[in-house]
Amino acid sequence: MFQYAASVEKWDVFEVTVSGRADGNPFVDYSIRGVFQSAQERVETDGFYDGDGIYRVRFMPSIEGDYTFRVFGSFSDEEYTGNFTVTPASANNHGPVRVANTFHFAYEDGTPYYPVGTTCYVWTHQPQELQEKTLEELSKGYFNKIRFCVFPKHYDYNFRDPITFPYEGTPCDNSGLNRDNFGTYLPSNPENKWDFKRFNPEHFRLFENRIRDLRDMGIEADLIIMHPYDRWGFSEMDAESDDLYWNYVIARFAAYRNVWWSLANEFEFVRKKTMADWERYAHILCKKDPYHHLRSIHNAFNFYDYNKPWITHACIQLQDKKPLELLPDWREMYRKPIVVDEMRYEGNIEHGWGNITAEEMVRRFWEVTLMGAYGGHGETYMHPDNILWWSHGGELHGESGPRLKFLQQILNESPYIGLDPCGEYLTAASKVAFAPNTYRLLYFGYTRPSYKRFYYDDEHDYQVEVIDTWNMTIENRGIFRGRFDIDLPSRQYMAIRIKMVD
């Protein structure tokens, strides 16, 4: 077999599929690499074994025009060559997301990107019908980023086995697993019988199908590569197996433009891994991902050193001892974008991290945004079948989703890539963001003023709009100059948008 397409659009996946050796263990015994070259670009990248004697090499082109390729390695005695054409990107394809203006993000074509993300840790490991329901919910456009895990999850409300496992072998028996004893099911359980040198390609095929679905919906896939919530032993593999896993997921997933890399969820709870291990994984990632997708690592209580040069943005879980008001300090400390991917979840479960109101979730998003950072959503409402969005996906039951979509609308109407915090009128309860000289967005949170007074200058006109962030309305109050007052309805969660008129 030797297959490839004659053309591919810019920033899409070009794939070369070839037959090769299947004896022994092809995941470790044989290698495959590809070189892809045009007049302006040359990329060399690893391929991977996909089972049944099939090998694949994937490439994401960033330049339009004619390319050649060469595929080689110990998988075969032959070399494979060919050529293809890269066509212009389609209307909804803006390329991978990059850091822009120090603290913010934009797609590679320059289109601003304002992350409004959610978390569904193991939605891709659920039955297909539930996965389809998750995609249906995501199609409503509430979120443009989603965090999820490559490995399955063992935790409260997560007692069922996944539909596939990443390795050949058999899992421990979960027939007696329940809320009273789940803490006794440990990664070291001797019932687990895995071959950590032999991947189950079907697990990864199903996973990348969902990356592709998200890409086609304009949603970034924030991939959590490692995590501590485990009864199968995946969090306690040896270094050789870890490195093999990292190389495999990079080779399979890096060519998808919507991929972000999160080295871990709550990294310090992965007890068997040292700081040297995390730095080694980061080195592998930086070396093997030729497209330099966004990279971070998520904390439980203790921040990673986000000043590390390999980290592109800070991915933060908010704790009470690290309140939102510290965000401006963190911006200056790290000089990178900050994404507060966990700031508790809308819901009503017993855990303290999973029972804030929709109003509070939306308020936190607005406050984080106006302090020059970005927020993350999750939902944990009790369900008769223990299907909680935060882990399983399915159907959203809360009220924050449409209001976060409304926030996205407001952000996408900004005249500049990213809003930065402004000390003007700033109190513990109100926040102000601005784009240079022309635009201000004020948010009053849980306070409810009856009016606000403004003065900028006597030379320019300013259009003023009053925004009800909960009821999702925008009211045009007209054009003003000099000193002026804006009446407000004495309700919580109001905002004012002020734009200089040309």
Q: What is the pLDDT of residue 314?
A: 98
Do 179 and 290 have their domain in common?
Answer: yes
Region 434-460: mean pLDDT is 90
Region 419-436: mean pLDDT is 68
Do 44 and 135 have their domain in common?
Answer: no
**60 within domain boundaries:** yes
**78 within domain boundaries:** yes
Q: In this structure, are residues 277 and 237 in contact, taking their beta carbons and an 8 Å threshold? A: no
Kindly report the average pLDDT of the chain as a whole number: 96
Region 68-80: mean pLDDT is 99
Q: What is the pLDDT of residue 308?
A: 98
CA dist 5 to 73, 85, 408, Å? Answer: 21, 9, 36
**18 within domain boundaries:** yes
Do 67 and 28 have their domain in common?
Answer: yes
Q: In this structure, are residues 380 and 389 in contact, taking their beta carbons and an 8 Å threshold? A: yes
Domain, as residue range, for 203: 97-412
How far apart are alpha carbons 439 and 375 in whole angstroms? 21
How far apart are alpha carbons 452 and 467 in whole angstroms? 13
Q: Of 66, 87, 108, which marks where a domain is finished? A: 87
Using left for φ > 0, alpha for ψ between -120 and 50, and beta otherwise, residue 358 falls in alpha
Do 200 and 309 have their domain in common?
Answer: yes
Do 445 and 389 have their domain in common?
Answer: no
CATH number at residue 11: 2.60.40.10
pLDDT band at residue 424 using 50, 70 and 90 as cut-offs: low
Q: Of 87, 121, 145, which marks where a domain is finished? A: 87
Q: Cα angle vertex 354, ends 127, 174, to 5°? A: 40
Report the share of the chain in percent with pLDDT over 70. Answer: 97
pLDDT at 427 over 90: no
How far apart are alpha carbons 381 and 358 in whole angstroms? 11
**DSSP codes, 107-137:** ETTS-EE---EEE-TTGGGS-HHHHHHHHHH
Q: What is the pLDDT of residue 432?
A: 75
Q: Is 130 exposed, middle or buried (0-12, 13-18, 19+ CB in 10 A)?
A: middle
Q: What is the pLDDT of residue 323?
A: 73
Region 212-236: mean pLDDT is 98
CATH number at residue 317: 3.20.20.80
Token code pair at residue 289: 């991902």
Q: Which of 114, 117, 115 is nearest to 418 (CA)?
A: 114
Q: Of 412, 443, 467, which marks where a domain is finished? A: 412
How far apart are alpha carbons 72 and 106 in whole angstroms? 35
**417 within domain boundaries:** no
Maximum average pLDDT range among 21-35, 174-188, 307-321: 21-35
Q: What is the pLDDT of residues 89-144, one digit of tens each?
A: 999 999 999 999 999 999 999 999 999 999 999 999 999 999 999 999 999 999 99
pLDDT band at residue 374 using 50, 70 and 90 as cut-offs: very high
Q: What is the pLDDT of residue 431?
A: 74
Q: What is the pLDDT of residues 468-500, one digit of tens each?
A: 999 999 999 999 999 999 999 999 999 999 999
Q: How many domains does the chain have?
A: 3
Token code pair at residue 94: 């803006």
Do 158 and 74 have their domain in common?
Answer: no
CA dist 58 to 43, 256, 267, 282, 297, Å? Answer: 11, 9, 29, 21, 25
pLDDT at 322 over 90: no
Residue type, 303: F
**492 within domain boundaries:** yes
Region 30-54: mean pLDDT is 99
Do 71 and 128 have their domain in common?
Answer: no
pLDDT band at residue 423 using 50, 70 and 90 as cut-offs: low
Q: Which of 149, 303, 305, 314 is nearest to 232 (CA)?
A: 149
For 99, half-sphere exposure in the C-beta direction (CA atoms, 13 angstrom radius) is: 18
Q: What are phi and psi of 50, to 5 degrees?
A: -115, 20
Token code pair at residue 482: 């000099």
Q: In this structure, are residues 173 and 159 in contact, taking their beta carbons and an 8 Å threshold? A: no
Do 239 and 209 have their domain in common?
Answer: yes
Q: In this structure, are strands 314-317 and 295-296 parallel, antiparallel, or unpaired?
A: unpaired
Q: What is the pLDDT of residue 283?
A: 99
**92 within domain boundaries:** no
Do 304 and 233 have their domain in common?
Answer: yes
Do 241 and 120 have their domain in common?
Answer: yes
Do 441 and 405 have their domain in common?
Answer: no
pLDDT at 433 over 90: no
CATH number at residue 496: 2.60.40.3950
How far apart are alpha carbons 136 and 436 in whole angstroms? 39
**217 within domain boundaries:** yes
Q: What is the pLDDT of residue 185?
A: 96
Do 183 and 71 have their domain in common?
Answer: no
